[in-house]
Chain A
Amino acid sequence: MRNSTWRAGAVAAALVTAIAACGGDPATTEGTASGGGGDTIKVGLLHSLSGTMAISEVTVRDAELLAIEEINKAGGVLGKQLEPVVEDGASDWPTFAEKANKLIAQDKVATVFGGWTSASRKAMLPVFEKRKALLWYPVQYEGLESSPYIFYTGATTNQQIIPGLDYLKEQGKKKIFLVGSDYVFPRTANKIIKAYAAANGMEILGEEYTPLGHTEYSTLTNKVVQAKPDAVFNTLNGDSNVAFFKQLKSAGVTAESMPVLSVSVAEEEVTGIGVDNIVGHPVAWNYYQTTETAANTKFVEAFKAKYGATKVTSDPMEAGYNAVYLWAEAAKKAGTVEVEALKKAAGGIALERPEGLVTIDGETQHMYKTARIGIIQPDGLIKEVWNSGEPIKPDPYLKTYPWAGGLAS
């Protein structure tokens, strides 16, 4: 009897905590519309801090927090300090939608920086469009989208995929094998690649998808090796890259015999994959930790100072870092953080960023960005071997590429 009372007590305590949780409605009413009324301006940061995507997204949040801190030190925006409200998307798309709603409706933030996967963006998109609020999305993606309430600070396909193909073509790689994780970005990217190949005399020897989180690549490796391509175009995501490169390496494939061009492997992933396994393979991005600009030296130094000397910086982090600055600049230009005015002011804003000059394209709300191909070095960093020379105008629907006619319909 004594025993069961004790049990009862323990669980009752847990229950009370849970009920307290129900009642605890965080302060909701003090912020006025668009977060502009008080002494501070609230901005939302919405990334996965738990779950499978946390690996990648936490670092983007860190970069965004760094930018907020720097801007606040320099006097803030419109004379007010920025106050970040951080939420966890938990690697779960509906949670992203729920938290976006919370940030807009309850915290009344001026804007939200957030998302990584296409799925999280697609889940948030209706929330932002219906509530007429603003989202800054920092990751390269599959294009074919141009929401009036989203600014895309990562690359669209014509700033990453197509330059990657241009590079392979220049290298004389004519026979390509496509490997990707089974979701929207790789499938769309591969459609574009196939159209490009058809127009440029390249041959696609195979196209394989594996489920997200897949780790058994021996069969796929066999298929690739049997097809004998000149190069592999890799759109695998996350942990699958580790398994893929490890197993490819042990099957005897090297960067010399069969380079694998990746578009989702950045500095942070290299350690996990094992430098050994990926050294010499090319990647396509708009920014590397080694990119030689004055703004980058400052960014890398500041980031390491804040988060530790062993930390690396990568493209999505830089795009998130940029997003905060670009929004702040647009607010200054508009003289307000009010969404419609800020959107109107944003077009044409140009800033020198770590990746070089970044200009907001007012029409698509994407950025002009310079494409850069890099090679993975034995020290785990990436060295640029090719770039597009100048920032490329964003073209999310590939309207300016005649061969891409049937893609976006």
Chain B
Amino acid sequence: MTAVLEKPTRQLTPKEPRQWKGPAVFVAVAIIALVVMPLVLEPFRLGLLAKYLCYAIVALGIGLAWGQGGMLTLGQGVFFGLGGYAMGMYLKLNDAGGDLPDFMVWSGVEDLPALWAPFGNPVFALAMVVVVPLVVAVLLGTLVFRQRVRGAYFAILTQALAAAMVILLVGQQGLTGGTNGLTNFFDFFGNDVAAESTQRGLYLTVAIVLGVLYLAAWQLVRSRFGRLLLAVRDGEDRVRFLGYNPATVKTITFAISAVMAGIAGALFVPVVGIISPALLGVVPSLELVVAVAVGGRFALAGAVLGAVVMGYAKTYFSEELPDAWLYLQGALFILVMTLAPKGIVGVATALRARVRKEASA
């Protein structure tokens, strides 16, 4: 038994060829995102890109949970919202400077609710951005995965969770701002949130956070845990007979994807200036899954690419052809699912393989 734990002995398989293409592309994209984009795009468009990158962070988590782990989560909006509200509560209290936040005044709340009080502390609020989605995901994951609720059941449950979350938030107007959500922020850690310099800084922050989380996710996928995750995706019951508890593996992954969504939500709030139930319901959650499918769910890069491409497409078409957007979105979706289930990344891989084959022939 102890032999299993022994250190590696000798190299049995030839060392894998040093991979340089992936890192090279990553660096190139990072340079474009961090240097080129801020120079080329006007502030308004840069702000939009920052928004898409926030969505890309959520998409990254979906790629991890769904593409790698086979958990189709239709409720990522919930975690996005939890992170967003944590940040929004801090910003609101900070702006109010000891008074009640504006929406509480017109909702007839007289004393600051106990739930809100600690969020005045930025460290606490930032911690909650991670902790609350983490706890909720672990709790839900433990309950659901332990009982082997999976596949379509899991998808439907997460969707219902998103629906229930919206109802809960809307119903607690004095606590959450109701349908309006939290909006009208002024100060972001000492900077005017609307100022161009702040917005550029926020864009860079979002881009860097995305990059870091991407690297972390990439590392995770390549690790033994990543192999295990694939194994759980393809044969959960078989994994159980290898002595692993798939529920633990799934819960951890689900929690990671939830934390990513939470961080994305927290960044989204200062970038866009609002967090409201409309952002975390069934439809926005589904739209992100769509984006991941379009980009290519089996590759982390596909998830990120999909979120950015779909974000741009939505903005572009709603500016140019608002009536056609629903048709286009639906049609794009049907096309991708039927013709290219592996998304843009899958198509690119197929094209490259073909070019290579022709070259060698």
B178 touches A90 (CB 8 A): no
B340 in the interface, Cβ–Cβ < 8 Å? yes
Chain A's nearest CB lies how many Å from the CB of B267?
A: 14
Chain A's nearest CB lies how many Å from the CB of B340?
A: 4
A7 in the interface, Cβ–Cβ < 8 Å? yes
- Using A4-B350, A18-B313, A22-B312 as known contacts, say yes or no to A11 and B339 having CB atoms under 8 A apart: yes
Q: Which of A363-409 contact B (CB under 8 A)?
A: 407-409
- Using A49-B323, A105-B43, A209-B171 as known contacts, say yes or no to A22 and B316 having CB atoms under 8 A apart: yes
A15 touches B344 (CB 8 A): yes
Chain A: which residue is nearest B182 at the CB level?
A122
Chain A: which residue is nearest B167 at the CB level?
A211
| Max chain A C-beta neighbours (<10 A), residue from B167, B325, B347 | B347
B111 in the interface, Cβ–Cβ < 8 Å? no
A8 touches B171 (CB 8 A): no
B107 in the interface, Cβ–Cβ < 8 Å? yes
- The complex places the Cα of A11 from the Cα of B184 at a distance, in Å, of 41
- The complex places the Cα of A91 from the Cα of B278 at a distance, in Å, of 9
Q: Which of A1-36 contact B (CB under 8 A)?
A: 1, 4-5, 7-8, 10-12, 14-15, 18-19, 21-22, 24-26, 28
Q: Which of B178-222 contact A (CB under 8 A)?
A: 178-181, 183-185, 194
Determine which of B180, B332, B339 lies in contact with A118 in the assembled complex, contact meaning CB atoms within 8 Å: B180
What is the 8 Å Cβ interface bit string for chain A, positions 78-93, against chain B (1 contact, 0 not)?
Answer: 0000000011101111
A interface secondary structure, majority = helix
Chain B interface residue number, banded: 35 or more
B16 in the interface, Cβ–Cβ < 8 Å? no
> Which residues from B are CB-within-8-Å of A8?
340, 347, 350-351, 354
Chain B's nearest CB lies how many Å from the CB of A125?
A: 6
What is the 8 Å Cβ interface bit string for chain A, positions 38-65, against chain B (1 contact, 0 not)?
Answer: 0000000000011000000000000000
Interface 9-mer from B149-157, B239-247, B268-276? B268-276
B173 in the interface, Cβ–Cβ < 8 Å? yes
A247 in the interface, Cβ–Cβ < 8 Å? no
What is the 8 Å Cβ interface bit string for chain B, positions 316-328, against chain A (1 contact, 0 not)?
Answer: 1111101101100
- The complex places the Cα of A183 from the Cα of B276 at a distance, in Å, of 12
A93 touches B278 (CB 8 A): yes
> Which residues from B are CB-within-8-Å of A220?
none
B105 touches A119 (CB 8 A): no
Q: Which of B275-299 contact A (CB under 8 A)?
A: 276, 278-279
Chain B's nearest CB lies how many Å from the CB of A403?
A: 15
B interface secondary structure, majority = helix
A102 touches B316 (CB 8 A): no
Chain B's nearest CB lies how many Å from the CB of A122?
A: 4
- The complex places the Cα of A4 from the Cα of B354 at a distance, in Å, of 9
> Which residues from B are CB-within-8-Å of A98?
48, 51, 272, 315
A191 in the interface, Cβ–Cβ < 8 Å? yes
- Using A119-B180, A123-B180 as known contacts, say yes or no to A87 and B274 having CB atoms under 8 A apart: no
A97 in the interface, Cβ–Cβ < 8 Å? yes
- Using A21-B313, A212-B179 as known contacts, say yes or no to A123 and B319 having CB atoms under 8 A apart: no
B347 touches A12 (CB 8 A): yes
Determine which of B279, B323, B351 lies in contact with A94 in the assembled complex, contact meaning CB atoms within 8 Å: B279
B20 in the interface, Cβ–Cβ < 8 Å? no
A50 touches B278 (CB 8 A): no
Chain A's nearest CB lies how many Å from the CB of B170?
A: 5
A11 touches B340 (CB 8 A): yes
Chain A: which residue is nearest B108 at the CB level?
A191
Determine which of A50, A97, A144, A184 lies in contact with B325 in the assembled complex, contact meaning CB atoms within 8 Å: A50
> Which residues from B are CB-within-8-Å of A24?
316, 320
A184 touches B178 (CB 8 A): yes
> Which residues from B are CB-within-8-Å of A106?
42, 44
B44 touches A184 (CB 8 A): no
- The complex places the Cα of A4 from the Cα of B315 at a distance, in Å, of 30
- The complex places the Cα of A91 from the Cα of B179 at a distance, in Å, of 12
Chain A's nearest CB lies how many Å from the CB of B321?
A: 10
B278 touches A127 (CB 8 A): no
What is the 8 Å Cβ interface bit string for chain B, positions 145-179, against chain A (1 contact, 0 not)?
Answer: 00000000000000000000011001101000011
> Which residues from B are CB-within-8-Å of A12?
347, 351
A94 touches B272 (CB 8 A): yes
A21 touches B312 (CB 8 A): yes
B183 touches A26 (CB 8 A): no
Chain B's nearest CB lies how many Å from the CB of A57?
A: 12
- The complex places the Cα of A97 from the Cα of B185 at a distance, in Å, of 13
Chain A's nearest CB lies how many Å from the CB of B95?
A: 11
> Which residues from B are CB-within-8-Å of A123?
180-181, 183, 273-274, 276
A126 touches B350 (CB 8 A): no
A267 in the interface, Cβ–Cβ < 8 Å? no
Q: Which of B303-342 contact A (CB under 8 A)?
A: 309, 312-313, 315-320, 322-323, 325-326, 332, 335-336, 339-340
- The complex places the Cα of A212 from the Cα of B163 at a distance, in Å, of 11
B170 touches A182 (CB 8 A): yes
- The complex places the Cα of A351 from the Cα of B278 at a distance, in Å, of 38
- The complex places the Cα of A25 from the Cα of B278 at a distance, in Å, of 27
> Which residues from A are CB-within-8-Å of B322?
49-50, 86-88, 90
A72 in the interface, Cβ–Cβ < 8 Å? no
A92 touches B317 (CB 8 A): no
> Which residues from B are CB-within-8-Å of A409?
105
B227 in the interface, Cβ–Cβ < 8 Å? no
What is the 8 Å Cβ interface bit string for chain A, positions 172-198, against chain B (1 contact, 0 not)?
Answer: 000000000011100110010000000
> Which residues from A are CB-within-8-Å of B315?
98
Chain B's nearest CB lies how many Å from the CB of A408?
A: 8
A101 in the interface, Cβ–Cβ < 8 Å? yes
A187 touches B178 (CB 8 A): yes
Determine which of B181, B320, B354 lies in contact with A93 in the assembled complex, contact meaning CB atoms within 8 Å: B181
Chain B's nearest CB lies how many Å from the CB of A39?
A: 23
B170 touches A183 (CB 8 A): yes
> Which residues from B are CB-within-8-Å of A125?
183-184
Q: Can you list 21 A-B contacts with CB-CB less than 8 angstroms, sorted by A residue number?
A: A8-B340, A8-B354, A12-B347, A15-B344, A21-B316, A21-B317, A50-B326, A87-B322, A88-B318, A88-B325, A94-B274, A94-B279, A105-B42, A118-B180, A126-B184, A184-B107, A184-B173, A184-B178, A184-B179, A209-B171, A409-B105
Interface residues of B, Cβ cutoff 8 Å to A: 42-45, 47-48, 51, 105-108, 166-167, 170-171, 173, 178-181, 183-185, 194, 272-274, 276, 278-279, 309, 312-313, 315-320, 322-323, 325-326, 332, 335-336, 339-340, 343-344, 347, 350-351, 354
Closest 3 CB pairs of A and B: A21-B316, A88-B322, A183-B179
Excluding A7-B347, A93-B180, 7 further A-B contacts by CB distance (< 8 Å) are: A10-B340, A24-B316, A50-B318, A92-B279, A118-B179, A123-B273, A184-B179
